[in-house]
Amino acid sequence: MALTGMDIYKLLPKKNCKECGFPTCLAFAMKLAQGGVEAEKCPYMSEDAKTRLSEATAPPMRTVKFGAGDRCYSLGGETVLFRHEKTFVNRTRFAVAFSDTMSDEEIQSKIEHMNTVDYIRISEEMYVEIAAVECKSGNKDTFLSLIKRVKDGCKKAVPMIITSDPEIAKAAVEECKELGPILFGANEQNYEAMVNLAKQYNLLLGVTAPDQEKLYELVQKIQNLGYRELLLSTESTSLKQVFDDVVNIRRTALVSQDRTFGYPTVVFANKLAKEKMMQLAIATLFVEKYGSVIVLDDIDYSLALPLFALRQNIYTDPQRPMKVEQGLYKIGSADENAPLLVTVDFALTYFIVSGEVERSKVPAWVLIPDAGGYSVLTAWAAGKLSGKTIAKAVKDFTVEEKLKTREIIIPGKVAVLKADIEDELPGWKVVVGPEEAALLPKFLRDYTDKKVS
């Protein structure tokens, strides 16, 4: 049973030292009970109390990790069934499937596709994090050759070794152990050997069984061996059953508070459908419904753009606005004489404005000041978008050194800022743009035509 704030308070040293960032031990205890802070923040708590509190306040779904260095990722750690209740914590990771029975051309094509899909969206780098490498041939040398090729070809991907043969698994782990691979393939027949191997190399272990009941029993056996870094999957082959399995695993952990199923899950979308767009549809379903790792046959931009955008939206804290990075953005082939517009750092506003500027075919610059991640009117009303913040952005991003223009186009809805900005930026002229972004293309074309004439 979860501890209350008063239960936790009784375990604290009651020094009220404030070193944890809270004014009193009671305030710290209340926040700890809500899961908003970690027990380790208290510098004077005994190790015994920390251990008890860490276990009692840990989320019902365990947070597990794989990878190494800059490519270390977390899965699980979720506390709610629905995003609107609070937030989802550790985002879904995507994998592309390889097997040692594929042709050289097919393997090379997948490697090139994985390397091609790599871009930044709202300050987040989007790429495939996992290469799911399966041993189908039963030949250790052939499998090791594939792992080496994928490891060398996909520098950003962490291997997921898929085999149920402990001997082949050990050799495969040796081949890529420095990357912190996932070891997938523990089942009723081999789980003891696979657990020993996972323990030896401190790996995330993928566990699979024919159905939910057998998976539950297998996880209990593995937990009795003292290993809890697990990733779960059933061997179901129908979409309906896989959906039922994944949802029930999550509900068992979070609603029934049964930690036997308190682990993230992997979904092999590539085995549920062969057609690319159907795989995309299945993957979108499990991004929303609890797939922590989703394996696809291949990746290209027609799959990546909707999947990564959906993931970013689902795994963004709804209590915090999505922001783009502040800066000076070049749109099209803008030169030093191109028009300069200013808008806010709220992601939705930025993408609408930049999209309309692109649609106008007029190369331009867009200046993004620190507006708190709010929309234009909200930022202005909150004092986040003002003459001072815009002038600060002009200076911070050295606009006067990069551009010859001394005119700045502001959103029509904050026309009242015109005099304020001109006071803060001597020598600059403020042009009031349209109130709606949809009117920007015509405005920019008229603006540049007027300049030329």
- 376 known ligand binder: yes
Distance of CA 325 to the CA centre of its chain: 17
Inter-CA distances, 218 with 195, 222, 305, Å: 12, 6, 37
The SS3 of residue 230 is strand
* Phi, psi angle pair for 219, to nearest 5°: -65, -40
**Cα dihedral 413→415→417→419 (10° resolution):** 180
* Phi, psi angle pair for 71, to nearest 5°: -110, 45
Distance CA 140, CA 168 (A): 6
Distance of CA 391 to the CA centre of its chain: 33
- 20 known ligand binder: yes
Token pair for 418:
């015109």
Contact of 36 with 173, CB cutoff 8 Å: no
- 72 known ligand binder: no
Amino acid symbol at 449 = D
Please classify residue 155 by burial: count the beta carbons closer than 10 Å to its beta carbon, then call 0-12 exposed, 13-18 middle and 19+ buried. Answer: exposed
- 42 known ligand binder: yes
- 327 known ligand binder: no
Distance CA 412, CA 437 (A): 9
- 25 known ligand binder: yes
- 304 known ligand binder: no
State the binding site for 5-methoxybenzimidazolylcob(I)amide.
343, 349, 373-376, 437
State the binding site for [4Fe-4S] cluster.
17, 20, 25, 42
State the binding site.
17, 20, 25, 42, 343, 349, 373-376, 437
